[in-house]
Amino acid sequence: MFKHFSKLDSWALVLFLLIVIGGPILILFSISHSFLPFIHHFGFVIFLIVISSSTWVLLLTMYYVFMMLFGWGKARRDYPLVAPKSRFLILIPAHNEAAVITATLEHLQQLDYPQAAYHIVVVSDQSTDQTTALAAAQGVQVIDTSHQRYQRVGVGKPAGLQYALDELTDSGILQQYDLVMVLDADNFTDPNLLRELDSQYQAKHFTAIQAYLDSKNDNTLLTLGYAMSYWTMNRFFQLSKYRLGLDNSIGGTGFVVERQWLEANHGFQSHSLTEDLEMEIRIVESGGTVGWNHFARIYDEKPDHLRASMTQRFRWSRGHWYTAFHNLVPLLHHFLKTGDLRDLDQLSYLFSMRQNFQYLLASFFGIAWVISLLMPSLGLHPIWLIDVDRSYFVPITLINWLILLEGFIPMIAGFLYDANWEGSKWLITPKAVLAFFWFSLTYLIVQIGGLLTFPNQKAWAHTQHVLTVTHHL
């Protein structure tokens, strides 16, 4: 049953049982004497709702505390760098990207990989500007979906990608390549990108591999918040999962997937607004694997205006909730049938959009902690582990400390480990933490909106890109 913790075997299993299973049991047992008074005051139905949601949050928190432990230390390759072998088909979906497409294609000329072993295709998806002409002027193949040679399936980026896949299949081009890469039209890449992915694929044979996602711009508070979320998740989620032998997450750009898997599993067809998350689940359900590469980066432009950012994240949230609810039963059924812990891991991620709410709770906890230090007569004692005599909801307990540990410590460590920063990182750390906190709290708003509107998966919001150079503090 625990076979998918194979890389760290017994001691990882012991930690898992102690932290993820034992932790919630211990905390719930320690407050169990408050259950009957709670039921007496609020009723059994309210009690079931509160205890169920609290237990789920406890389990998720403990799981991410467990996972956090495996993100520390220097990242090391577990594969040798070898001579190029794999052939890459690079698909660049582009809808009205005239401002950035030329710079992106020029930047790709820096790839350290035999040019005969990769082919770039710009998918000009119903563009009404000069995207098609500018891409063609760079000498790459351009597929213009406005010609409507093939039936359009779905909405937004995945629909354009599937259109391109159909055309490339009929022309015989697709069959010439081993791996298909998706790269957004605004992205820059490290020169070693294809060499790293090829070497890893030759050694590990993953169905898909996600490269390290980083930010093209982090010079404002909002874009720095995006970058902080990348650095934190890349190390304490993606790298941790990779070290544990679990499947990684696909981030929408900078990933490769086996051509044979696409041919056998309906290509890029998607029912949600988050085609990357949906593909990740489809790969796992089909028995495939998703790997992570920590050594080659993709630099993605992020919105520097709050309205555009909220619109983008609202789409992500709606798609995330849709995929979560539509895969809940299939993943649970597969887990009960096979005992494959990867199913539970996927469920923990699908229903983990509670972290931003935890940051809000942590802020209230921090305020209460400061008040208790300045005004101890109020009776708040944040250093206590449990304070059930004063409140049924136990606002100042061990769980709040865990929220801080699971949230803020990885946030700071991810920045110190992985940010490509010139000068002293410690000097900018307070601003970086503030940026991430602001990013998380604004994300909470759109997550709630996404939860309330997730059945609607028809409206795709395009994010405008303008940067042709990187912008950093």
Higher pLDDT, residue 397 or 421: 421
Mean pLDDT for the stretch of residues 278-301? 94
Amino acid, single-letter form, for residue 244: L
Percent of the chain with pLDDT strictly greater than 70: 86
Q: What is the pLDDT of residue 393?
A: 40
- Res. 204: pLDDT tops 70: yes
- For all residues of the chain together, what is the average pLDDT? 86
DSSP per-residue string spanning 254-298: SEEEEHHHHHHTTTT--SSS-HHHHHHHHHHHTT--EEEEEEEEE
Residues contacting 452, CB < 8 A, separation 6+: none
Higher pLDDT, residue 429 or 105: 105
- Res. 391: pLDDT tops 60: no
Rounded to 10°, the helix 44-68/355-374 angle is 90
Chain segment 82-101, per-residue pLDDT in tens: 999 999 999 999 999 999 99
For residue 217, list its beta bridge partners: 471
Class of the CATH-defined domain 1-473? alpha beta
- Res. 421: pLDDT tops 70: yes
Mean pLDDT for the stretch of residues 433-439? 88
Q: What is the pLDDT of residue 368?
A: 63
User: What pTM, to 2 d.p., does this model score?
Assistant: 0.89
Q: What is the pLDDT of residue 401?
A: 60
Q: What is the pLDDT of residue 237?
A: 92
- Res. 392: pLDDT tops 60: no
Among 82-96, 186-200, 357-371, the least confident range: 357-371
Residues contacting 36, CB < 8 A, separation 6+: none
Q: What is the pLDDT of residue 472?
A: 66
Which residue's structure tokens are 């999962």? 241
Whole-angstrom distance between the N-terminal and C-terminal Cα of the chain?
A: 47
Amino acid, single-letter form, for residue 263: E
Torsion, Cα of 57, 61, 64, 65 (10° steps): -170
Residues in the chain: 473
Chain segment 129-182, per-residue pLDDT in tens: 999 999 999 999 999 999 999 988 888 899 999 999 999 999 999 999 999 999
Chain segment 25-62, per-residue pLDDT in tens: 887 887 787 788 878 888 899 889 878 877 887 788 88
Domain ranges of the chain: 1-473
Are 285 and 312 spatial neighbours (Cβ–Cβ below 8 Å)? Answer: no
Mean pLDDT for the stretch of residues 250-274? 93
- Res. 442: pLDDT tops 50: yes
Are 398 and 385 spatial neighbours (Cβ–Cβ below 8 Å)? Answer: yes
Q: Where are the beta strands (DSSP E) in 139-236?
A: 141-144, 179-182, 188-189, 208-215
Among 21-25, 73-77, 420-424, the least confident range: 420-424
**22-26, 156-160, 256-260, 375-379 — which one is most confidently predicted on average?**
256-260
